Amino acid sequence: MFMSKKTAKNIKPGELNLKEKLVHINRTAKVVKGGKRFGFNAIVVVGDKEGHVGYGLGKANEVQDAIAKGVEDGKKNVIKVPIVKGTIPHQILAKYGSAKVMMKPATPGTGLIAGGAVRAVLEMAGIHDILAKSLGSSNPHNVVKAAISGLESISDAYDVGERRSKSLNEVFES
């Protein structure tokens, strides 16, 4: 829905030094004749802490298999995040389902002020100074997707100049 194919194709995850962070594990149960069969799903965030981040969902009968599948899925969905002086260029309010994530740039030294799933996404992206708040639903799946959606929608000065067919100097003058 929000993952642009152009962005994901331009980044080769094999060339990046990606680390992973487990955000949430959910246990599911299927009732069968002999009792209950348990399964697991894991949402994982991957990133190189230098402006590349992605998320993945893995489902399996064992926890380790679910995490491994989530990491593989996350490597396929890596996006590039423009970072300016350790923060984001402008404020964002992103929504996915009923989960909303608000992110504001902060001055150097403020630190990463975010909680839960949003914090994992911002840490893996390599953002050091930011104020973030999760609003609405606290479902980690939707919060991660909203955070990634917001980071993907960021426009830096180069993007604005490209859209307006202007140089960087012309962008900053207007």
Mean pLDDT of the chain: 88
CATH 3.30.230.10 fits 81-173, yes or no: yes
pTM of the predicted protein model: 0.85
Q: What is the pLDDT of residue 3?
A: 46
Is residue 14 very low, low, confident or very high in pLDDT (cuts 50, 70, 90)?
Answer: confident
Q: Which fold has domain 5-79?
A: Double Stranded RNA Binding Domain (3.30.160)
- Dist CA 74 CA 18 (whole Å): 10
- Dist CA 86 CA 161 (whole Å): 22
The domains of the chain are located at 5-79, 81-173
For residue 24, give the amino acid letter.
H
pLDDT tens string 46-77:
999 899 999 999 999 999 999 999 999 999 99
Phi, psi at 97, each rounded to 5°:
65, -130
Q: Provide mean pLDDT across the span 101-129.
A: 93
User: What count of residues does the chain have?
Assistant: 174
Is residue 149 very low, low, confident or very high in pLDDT (cuts 50, 70, 90)?
Answer: very high
